[in-house]
Structure 1
Amino acid sequence: MKSPKTNSPPPEGCPQGGVVTTPQHGKIILTTINNTPIIRNFVENLPYNPALSRLTKGKRKKGILSEVLFWQQVHKRKFYKIDFDRQRIIGNYIVDFYVKTLGLIIEIDGSSHDDKVEYDAKRQLYLENLGLKMYRITDIDVKKNLGNAMSLLEAFIVREYGEKPPRPADTPPMEGN
Structure 2
Amino acid sequence: MRRKIIPYNSKLKEFARKLRNDSTLGEILLWKELNNKQFYGYDFQRQKPLLEFIADFYCNELSLVIEIDGDYHNHEEAFKLDIERVVKLKEWGLNILRFTENEVRKDMTNVLRGIEGYILDYQKND
Quick check: TM above 0.5?
Answer: yes
Partner of 1:122: 84
Q: 2: CA distance between counterparts of 1:82 and 1:44?
A: 15
Q: Where do 1:31-70 residues align within 5 Å?
A: 44-70=4-30
**Counterpart check, 1:135 vs 2:97:** yes
Q: Kindly indicate whether structure 1 or structure 2 has the higher relative contact order, using CA contacts under 8 Å at least 6 residues apart.
A: 2
Map of 1:170 onto structure 2: none
Q: Does 1:105 align with 2:81?
A: no
Distance 1:90 1:124, change over 3 A: same
Report the residue type matching 2:96 in the other structure: M
Number of equivalenced pairs = 123
User: Whose Rg is larger?
Assistant: 1
- Unaligned stretches of 5+ residues in structure 1: 1-27, 29-41, 165-177
Give the Cα separation in 1 of the matches to 2:108 and 2:42: 18
Q: Which has the higher helix share?
A: 2
**What value does the CA root-mean-square deviation take over the aligned residues?**
1.4
**Shift, 1:113, TM fit:** 2.2
- Give the alignment partner of residue 150 of structure 1, picking from 109, 112, 117: 112
1:90 is the counterpart of 2:50: yes
Distance in 1 separating the partners of 2:106 and 2:50: 29
Specify every segment of 5 or more residues in structure 2 that has no aligned partner in the other structure, as ranges. none
Deviation track 1:34-55 (CA, whole Å, cap 9, x = no partner) reads: xxxxxxxx66231111101110
Instruction: Map Cα deviations across residues 18-46 of structure 1 (whole Å, 9 max, x no partner).
Output: xxxxxxxxxx6xxxxxxxxxxxxx66231
> TM-score, normalised to structure 1's length?
0.66
